[in-house]
Structure 1
Amino acid sequence: MLKKEFKIPYFFELFIITIITISISKINAIAGILSAIAFIILYLIKKNYTKSILIIPIILNMFLISDIPNKSLGMLGTIIDKDDGKYKIMINKFYDENWKKTNKIYITYYSKFSVEPLKNGQKIYLYGKKQNNNIIKTDYIATKGNKSILQIKDLIINQLKNRLKDPNTFDIVKSSIMGNIQNKEKFKKTGTLHLFAVSGFHVYIIYFIISKIINLLIYKKNIRLILSTIIINFYLILTGFSASSLRAVLLLSIINIFKILDLQYDSLNILSLIGYINLIIIPENLQNIGFLMSYSATFMILYTNKKLYKSKIKNIIIPISAYIGIFPISLYSFGEISLSGIIITPIISPIIGLLILLGFFNILINSVILQSFTNTISSGILNFLKIFENIPLLKIENNFLIFIIWCIIFIFYIIILNHLIKPRPLR
């Protein structure tokens, strides 16, 4: 039976237009609106009415969602993630003469005494001042004391902490599943920090485990796809709805929907659609380093995956492609990057997959043997990384030079893919 054809050839282009329009609006709001209108007119001239309609939400977003001013005021939001005194909060409203709607995730550090401890999923009233794009200096937080499914993350963290007594093991296993590793410096020096920030790699490993278990229990394909999609969406609770995990989960979910409906799909276009929706909902994600790294790495992975054809070195090259994708952003954002990461990444990646699996087993099973094995694996990772700690970091402050270096690496990589690896035939 032939699949019904469903083409979406314009989403990548739409994603780029969204990026351009939002970037211009950050410089000047009126210029941003005018640029969006210009794109609408261009597509109307070409009689492409669908694209014209899909650009309209960008303009509406500029009118309906307000930026929080840099002054002390009250805000209403929900705690979506916490790590000791660090809180990630989705702010929905703020009071500036009257209540105004916003939709943005902020980070705040709050360690003042509270009669009721702050938990994931709690709705809160916050009084403070925005310091920069995503940080709020908080003077006061009051909770509404409500319960939420998001609090399951607190229960799981406590379960892991009780069973993995060694602080280093707990930190590595927790961050393998949920991100936010504490011992950042060691992994930053070796260029492996991205492996302990929840990404598509982690989501796909967990989805693979879920799918295998469901496949053993359920025969019907569509029911398997529906169940695995629902379960992987719940995983977002553990990641604190990070940009990279949200992107990966949505990508898997939409692909599964296309499979259920028996429609053709293109992963690159679906990824672009997700990026478009993500920026419509939260335009400030364009200034989020995690968002930029996530999409650049995934675009590189999808491009590489299309070029490879049952290659035995596919699993080695794909982690390298992700590293090439984040290379310019990491160097531009942090001013330095470890070149040893390109060597270590394909070696450590399978072990991270094993740690994710061990982490879930430790949550479900209280076994001394299992805990001891987990300690051995995490200690082995730390000892292995010590070999590469003294390799000097690449430090470049000239942005133009960063761009040139990345272009050389990128061109060299494309040449390898096109000439040394047999391409996948078109279907």
Structure 2
Amino acid sequence: MYLKLLLKQVMNKPIIYYTISLIIGCIFSLCIFERSIILGAAISASFLIIIFCTVDKKYFIIICLFFILGVIDFNLFFNIKVENKIEVRVKQKKDYYCIANYKGRSLLLKGNLKNIEEGQKIKAYGNFQRDMNYSFGSIGNYNIDRYDKYKKDAMYYISVIKKYVYKKFCKCLDKNKSGIIMGVCFGETDYLSKIQKEEFKKLGVIHIISVSGFHMSIIYKALESIFGIKISILMSFIYVIFTGANAATLRAFIMIALLKLANIVFKNYNSLCALSFSALILILIKPFYILNIGFALSFLSTLGIILFNKKLSKILYKLPEKINSSLSLTLSAQFLSFPYICFTIKEFGIGFILGNLLLVPLYSIIIILGNISLMFFKIDFIFNSVIFILNIILTTCMGVNYVLLYIFPNIKYLCYIEGVCLILLYLGYLLYNQGYKRAKYIPIYIVLIFVFENYTLFPEIYYISSKESEFIIFNNKFNSIMFCNYNINASKDVIYIKEKFNSNNVITNPISDLKINLDDKTQAKFYKKLNSRVDLQLNYKNRKYLFKRQYYKPYTKILCVKNYNSINIPFYSLCEITNKDSYNYFKVTKCKIFFDEFLLIKNYPFCRRDKL
């Protein structure tokens, strides 16, 4: 039933087809850039064949034109020519480089960066080196030899005002509370500490510190109640520019403007069409948004609210009205965004329901008061009065945060399997409603997938290292044992790795000559203390595997994995080494070594058969 209604809605709204066609065109160009022409052709051909069999010929021609437009738009965006003399605006300044805006593209500035300020527009002279990052719309690096400053304009003064307001907040409040106000009200997350960001993630309210549609709806409602529609739309646009004009706020602004303008010109407003139109405009301007996580999460959350909010509200009709509306809104926003999180971010706060129910109302007040304080930051009496109220609410928020963080577990780490299973579960539900009764067995298959995902059929060994910590993780069946050596400054690493691998037994800083029975067939032995590190030997089915750290030249660290009983052992296992989250991951599967020896020198793997 839901599938038929959705298809019927799409058929009557061609702009949805145009937007999807534009996205497919951009994906096709991306595949060409990445030298995956076959994949791009397969995706494009499949889409166009389905469209050809679905719509009228006149619509099909228009859809093909939007597909071609997407291909051209993506190519023009990333194939722009950069001269030796360019005009750029500095967006962010780091220690050794700057991120600048060049005709809507991101550019990494290096070289002579002395006295360059954020928000400033400069004329730079230097050399360009192409190095594209499609997710961020970055086209490469520009090495500056010299530069000339332009006259300071409005964008520069916006950056200055933000810094000035933050300093004024710090005079009245501590840095933590000031950072929260800057993040929640203006999207300036650089003022937040890592601990604060992690807390927002754990509580499932990370969207509060990145200005999004949630902020736009609050700001517009507050403005409209005072100034009316036309002035409110204008002031909302100024707020979008002031907060950086990211994808989520632009999407929300376009949808709000369409809704209010439709009321003025006596036209019907359709949420799906407005959402599609906003996506169409944004992708035309910045085609790299098809890979932008913030853009995708904003649109998927909004689409989930459009499709499921009313249905969930009917299901939860017994709850009080305010709780019902808040809960149905929170859950519907997660329907489509959660699988995407499984494929991309792979982190999810378990306490997102209570976090949104309890914290969102408080932070909504902070958003309004924070913007009022910005408007009156030159009038000390009003500014100090607003700050006094903000301090009370922020203290309340911190207390609620403390309680919720104590109640709920830490961040749940996800993988693509969870995302695939969730999609299959939803598709099975739709098929079952359409009359395919065999779809009722899909949840059984999903349960089996989860069991096999958490069950290690063949033992796995992970070696993970960072600057101040070192871990060896042994997975076998449903058991996961973690051995770790770390400095006191790296205690957070232990928690992070433990949760990521879901280890049920942690052995910290083991001493030499320590023996541990992991299961009936596996035993761990620690011996030969070396430079405050303890080497590990695993015995599995009478075969010995030694994890030994050896130091040769300065700054050269070698991990040596030896198989002492390697004669006549099938070489069918695989080993993987990846660098992620500032950790080096070394994985040995099936407890069989593909080569006699693996060496990890710095971050690069080397394999050889001869003995050291």
Sort the TM-score into its range (normalised by shorter chain). Answer: 0.7 to 0.9
User: Tell me, what secondary structure is at the counterpart of 2:114?
Assistant: coil
User: Tell me, what secondary structure is at the counterpart of 1:28?
Assistant: helix
Which whole-Å deviations, capped at 9, do the CAs of 1:138-171 have from their partners, x for residues lacking one? Answer: 6438354233322342243134223311211221
Give the gaps of 5 or more residues in structure 2: 1-10, 433-612
**TM-score of the superposition, structure 1-length normalised?**
0.76
Structure-2 separation of matches of 1:111 and 1:248: 38
Structure-1 separation of matches of 2:308 and 2:410: 29
Q: What does 1:86-235 correspond to in 2, within 5 Å? A: 89-92=100-103, 103-105=104-106, 108=108, 114-115=114-115, 117-120=116-119, 122-125=121-124, 129=129, 130=131, 132-133=133-134, 134=136, 139-140=143-144, 142-165=147-170, 166-181=174-189, 182-183=192-193, 184-215=197-228, 225-235=229-239
Give yes or no for contact 1:244–1:294 (8 Å, CA) kept in 2: yes
Q: Are 1:268 and 2:272 an aligned pair?
A: yes
The letter of the residue matching 1:298 is T
- Which residue of 64, 67, 70 maps to 1:58? 70
User: Tell me, what secondary structure is at the counterpart of 1:146?
Assistant: coil
Larger fraction in helix:
1
Give the gaps of 5 or more residues in structure 1: 1-6, 93-102, 216-224, 416-427
Structure-1 separation of matches of 2:209 and 2:257: 23
Which whole-Å deviations, capped at 9, do the CAs of 1:266-303 have from their partners, x for residues lacking one? Answer: 01111111112211221111111111111111111222
- Which residue of 394, 398, 405 maps to 1:378? 394
Give yes or no for contact 2:74–2:288 (8 Å, CA) kept in 1: no
Which residue in the other structure is 1:389 paired with? 405
Give yes or no for contact 2:110–2:142 (8 Å, CA) kept in 1: yes
Give yes or no for contact 1:279–1:286 (8 Å, CA) kept in 2: yes
Larger fraction in strand:
2
User: Tell me, what secondary structure is at the counterpart of 1:198?
Assistant: coil
Which residue in the other structure is 1:368 paired with? 384
CA shift, 1:88, in A, is 5.3
Which whole-Å deviations, capped at 9, do the CAs of 1:186-245 have from their partners, x for residues lacking one? Answer: 222332222111110001111111111113xxxxxxxxx332222211112122111111
Structure-2 separation of matches of 1:120 and 1:145: 11
Which residue in the other structure is 2:419 paired with? 402
Structure-2 separation of matches of 1:412 and 1:385: 36
Which whole-Å deviations, capped at 9, do the CAs of 1:12-45 have from their partners, x for residues lacking one? Answer: 2222222223223211266758948984994996
User: Tell me, what secondary structure is at the counterpart of 2:133?
Assistant: coil
C-alpha change, 1:26 and 1:63, in structure 2 (3 Å) is closer
Q: How many residues align?
A: 384
**Aligned residues: CA RMSD:** 3.7
Q: What does 1:32-51 correspond to in 2, within 5 Å? A: 35=44, 39=48, 42=52, 46-48=57-59, 50-51=62-63
- Rg larger in structure: 2
Which deviates the most, 382-391 or 235-244?
Answer: 382-391
Structure-1 separation of matches of 2:243 and 2:350: 28
Structure-1 separation of matches of 2:154 and 2:251: 21
C-alpha change, 1:213 and 1:378, in structure 2 (3 Å) is same
C-alpha change, 1:320 and 1:180, in structure 2 (3 Å) is farther
The letter of the residue matching 1:237 is I
Q: Are 1:258 and 2:262 an aligned pair?
A: yes
- Which residue of 306, 314, 326 maps to 2:325? 314
Quote the sequence identity (%).
21
Give yes or no for contact 1:338–1:393 (8 Å, CA) kept in 2: yes
Which whole-Å deviations, capped at 9, do the CAs of 1:368-421 have from their partners, x for residues lacking one? Answer: 342232123223323322334361321233x133221365489899x9xxxxxx
CA shift, 1:261, in A, is 1.8
Larger RCO: Structure 1 or Structure 2 (Cα < 8 Å, ≥ 6 residues apart)? Answer: 1
Structure-2 separation of matches of 1:62 and 1:156: 35
C-alpha change, 1:292 and 1:172, in structure 2 (3 Å) is same
CA shift, 1:63, in A, is 4.9
Give yes or no for contact 2:351–2:404 (8 Å, CA) kept in 1: yes
CA shift, 1:8, in A, is 6.9
**TM-score of the superposition, structure 2-length normalised?**
0.55
User: Tell me, what secondary structure is at the counterpart of 1:262?
Assistant: coil
Which residue in the other structure is 2:486 paired with? none
User: Tell me, what secondary structure is at the counterpart of 2:89?
Assistant: strand
